[in-house]
Amino acid sequence: MKLSGPPATRLLRRAGFAALGLVNLVWGGWAVGAPEHFYSTFPGFGLRWTSAYPPYNQHLVVDLGATMLTLAVLFAGAAILDRPAVSWLAGIATAVFGTLHFGYHALHAGHMGTSDRVLSLLSLVGGALVPPLLAATHHLRTER
């Protein structure tokens, strides 16, 4: 996709990081504030991906929520500051987490059916790739 220039690129990047921050803020707050409900119903919409990996462990769910809240802070910083170093820090840190998270789920299906597993893995790939791709937009230039 070719962007029309630096203002469009900045807007896309900042909006992307802001959206990722908001999603992680909501999910992280949910996991920390209501860990059993999060475990039973995440990601919502009738899907139950986390509970496909029993047994329930409050400590691990709250730790996951804390991780998501940390990612929300990184993404918010990238969206607000819009500096290459901050964006790359958020992008690479998330890529590390996302790649390891994906790797586990690629090797362990839990009790998920095929469609849930495919959707889950696709979301994990996106979670690992989108942040560094957003950071890479700092290097896009307009053609003159």
Residue type, 66: A
Tens digit of pLDDT per residue, the chain (144 long)?
A: 344 457 899 999 999 999 999 999 999 999 999 999 999 999 999 999 999 999 999 999 999 999 999 999 999 999 999 999 999 999 999 999 999 999 999 999 999 999 999 999 999 999 999 999 999 999 876 555
Cα distance between residue 28 and residue 105, in whole Å: 19
Structure pTM?
0.90
Q: Do 21 and 72 form a contact (C-beta atoms < 8 A)?
A: yes
| Burial group, residue 63, by CB count within 10 angstroms (0-12, 13-18, 19+) | middle
| Burial group, residue 27, by CB count within 10 angstroms (0-12, 13-18, 19+) | buried
Q: What is the rounded average pLDDT for all residues in the chain?
A: 93
User: Beta partners for 48?
Assistant: 43
